With several copies, the nearest count.
Chain A
Amino acid sequence: MTETLTLAKAVNAALADALEGDDRVLLMGEDIGQLGGVFRVTDGLQARFGAQRVIDSPLAESAIIGTAIGMSYRGFRVVTEIQFDGFIYPAFDQIVAQVAKLRYRSRGRVSMPLTIRVPYGGAIGSVEHHSESPESYFAHTAGLRVVTASTPQEAYSTLRAAIASDDPVLFFEPKGKYYTKGEVDRSIVRDLETANVVASGRDVTIAAYGPTVETALRAAIAAADEGIEVEVIDLRSISPLDVDTVVESVQRTGRLVVTHEAPAEASVSSELITSVVERAFSSLEAPPERVTGYDTPYPPSAVEHDYLPSLDRLLDAVDRTLGRRNSRTELDYASVMGAAR
């Protein structure tokens, strides 16, 4: 049975079903109870499951994660919410030095089946700290699984898998897509490591995740008009990456564009490109391209559309991989780089 849900409602449904199905599942975060979250993602859950299982917490991210760790020792599966991407950093130590390491440190004796939900990404016209994409920090951290979703179905199924997993999972929710609707079949089960090929093509591969998957699909449609076949891969898992699927695709297309909203430097796209180069170097017919946020802090949202990956920037990158005329064809770096040298 399928139903039409927004991505936000799909998350809500996954949380409700997890709470319903396992009484060791708990929700904890700021404003998630009475208010139902600033995006209403947890709407109705406290009323339905009680304030003991859907906990409005004090305003302290390190403590949200730190106390959830303590609860995990007692066998709870805590789903914590960090209200916005930009507010996860106070919890960084508890996430990278504790959550990520407790299984390792205890040689498998302590499980941290914690899920950390983080609405992330931009294009929502908001103010500072509300539009960031911090996933690369966590991708660099061994011991964490980092996943995201591009559709309501993926949100539902991936979040269920995250909560069921005995590994700690950061579940990044593309907040700019919260109100996107789609069909959801609650019986579809997904894992935490496999990428989806969401459009097939033989000329260029675009690997995307979360909010950029839709843009990539639009790029595939636009490119098709010019006779270019774009294969689009929804990575789903940001760490570990499903490099196999991307390599298999690149072996066919010979060309790769990786896109995400996060800055490029030492990021998920750096990793994916390097991994593909390591394993499919001889298949590559052009250097892989990145279409990402620039290496600046997230700008004022008045100009965020210049900062974020866009359809046109993706198409331009596709053109670059194909050696077609593109925005950099006549770019003379030497002449424009006065300031930096």
Chain B
Amino acid sequence: MSITVPAPDPALAAGLDCPLRVLDLDGTRLHDPLLDAHLGDIDESALADLYLDMVRVRRLDTEAFALTRQGHLVLWPPLLGQEAAQVGAARSLEQRDWVFGSYREHGFALLRGADMAEFARIWKAYAHGGWDPHEINMAPSQIIIGAQSLHGVGYAMAAKMDGSDEVALTAFGDGATSEGDVNEALVWASAFQAPVVFLCQNNQYAISEPVAVQSGGLPLALRPTGFGIPSMRVDGNDVLAMLAAGRIAVERARAGGGPTFIEAVTYRRGPHTTTDDPKRYRDEAEVEAWVAKDPIDRVERALERMGVDMDPVRAEAKVRADRLAKEFRAAAEHAEPPAAEEIFDNVYAQPSRRLERQRAEHLAFVASLAEESK
């Protein structure tokens, strides 16, 4: 009757006490035996690339935020502060891998190549989906909390059935860990040893609720260990730590080692969305403390310490970020609204007579209005 539990490999639940970190706030390169082994190729230029990525992601985010305030978008869930978590994890994947994320995964969308014109349409409420999932291997963004985690596991199971070494990453928030779906996803990933990476961006809040409401104060990275899923708690504002953790997880998945859970300990510095008022539930001081842990500043300092002349890097970053912002703003300002008739499209692959009747009735109604107002 005795079952032997796998010996608790420290790599299987790393960082529970203190999140794994390899870049200190002042840019010092710290050493972590687990992570370092996966960062051998990261020289100045590779780190500068990550810096560029983060700057662009942030610029997209702040531009979109501004566009919302200016009335060009209807809503925006900002990721300000979470750039390292998304960029590090996104860069640990290959393009042939798939991503199943939430509504806040703008960093992933950008880095995987989402068309910005289409992307903007989501947040203008012109379209529910903003890119071709099969083109960038990323599912439409998900608003139902946690639902996508099962899709990611299913995709990973399917990749494994195909004998492919492709991997799925599913991203969700701290709040999502309370939903049945995310927990069922852990059950299935463990039972089928699916090649999936669970990325939990613990940004400390689910709208107004501090993470302790969900977890009673325990680290979220503890959770998967009970399902037999190895887990890492990582400083989510450290892009190198995130990249390394992502690589560990992705390599394990590719090699047939099954799922891994990464808790990225980070912070949502903005409101939940542009309609939220975070002053109702948190102090400015708390936000300030996290500004000091800014993920981009930290890399700048690291690059400086490495002797990189930051001026051209910053200049390059600015050029590219400006270009992106311009592209996105143009998209947001000039997007073509959908034709009302699109309401009736893509409900079924094979159109139904019922809906075609409704389409005809609607068009006739619209025509009659036009008639009247003549």
A46 smallest CB distance to B (angstroms) = 11
Q: Are the CB atoms of B156 and A70 closer together than 8 Å?
A: yes
In the complex, B124 has a CB within 8 A of chain A: yes
Encoded as 1 (CB less than 8 Å from any B CB) or 0, chain A from 190 to 205 comes to 0011000000000000
Instruction: List, in ascending order, chain A residues with CB within 8 A of B75's CB.
Output: 126-127
B280, A36: Cβ atoms closer than 8 Å: yes
Q: A66-B184, A67-B188 are in contact. Are A145 and B348 (CB under 8 A)?
A: yes
Tell me the dominant secondary structure on chain A's binding face: loop
User: Inside 8 A of A36's CB, which chain B residues have their CB?
Assistant: 280
The main secondary structure of chain B at its interface with chain A is helix
Residue B175 interfacial (CB < 8 Å): yes
**In the complex, chain A residues 227-250 whose Cβ is within 8 Å of any chain B Cβ:** 240-244
Set A98, A295, A297: member contacting B354, Cβ < 8 A: A295
- Tell me the B179-204 residues at the A interface (CB within 8 Å): 179-181, 184-185, 187-188, 191
B127 x A73 contact (CB < 8 A) = no
- Contact check, A70 vs B157: say whether CB atoms are below 8 A apart: yes
Which residues of chain A in 57-73 are interfacial with respect to chain B, using CB atoms and an 8 Å cutoff?
57-60, 62-63, 65-73
The reply on B306 being an interface residue by CB < 8 A is no
Compute how far the CA of A306 lies from the CA of B362 in the bound complex, rounded to whole angstroms: 8
**Which parts of B125-169 form the interface with A (CB within 8 Å)?**
125-129, 132-134, 139-140, 143-145, 147, 149-159, 161-162, 168
Q: Is the CB of A327 within 8 A of B367?
A: yes
CB-defined contacts of A297 to chain B, threshold 8 Å:
128, 347
Answer whether residue B353 sits at the interface, using C-beta atoms and an 8 A cutoff: yes
Say yes or no: is B45 at the interface (Cβ < 8 Å to chain A).
Answer: no
Contact of A265 among B214, B346, B354 (CB under 8 A): B354
Q: A59-B175, A167-B349 are in contact. Are A302 and B125 (CB under 8 A)?
A: yes
Q: Give chain B nearest CB distance to A311 CB in angstroms.
A: 11
B129 touches A106 (CB 8 A): yes
How far does the alpha carbon of A38 sit from the alpha carbon of B77 in the complex, in Å?
A: 14
Nearest-CB residue, chain B, relative to A32: B208
What 1/0 mask marks residues of chain B from 325 to 364 whose CB sits below 8 Å from any chain A CB?
Answer: 0000000000001111011111111111111111111111
Q: How far is the CA of A301 from the CA of B127 in the complex (A)?
A: 8
B contact set with A: CB distance below 8 Å: 74-75, 98, 100, 103, 122-129, 132-134, 139-140, 143-145, 147, 149-159, 161-162, 168, 175-176, 178-181, 184-185, 187-188, 191, 206-209, 213-214, 275-276, 280-281, 337-340, 342-369
A-B contact pairs, 21 of them (CB 8 A): A35-B207, A35-B281, A36-B280, A56-B209, A59-B214, A63-B187, A63-B188, A66-B184, A67-B157, A69-B150, A71-B155, A90-B181, A103-B347, A105-B128, A108-B345, A142-B347, A243-B354, A300-B338, A302-B125, A336-B363, A337-B356
Given A73-B155, A104-B347, A165-B349, 18 more pairs with CB closer than 8 A: A31-B208, A58-B187, A63-B150, A63-B153, A63-B181, A70-B154, A73-B98, A74-B158, A76-B158, A86-B143, A89-B144, A93-B181, A94-B181, A98-B151, A193-B350, A306-B343, A328-B361, A337-B357
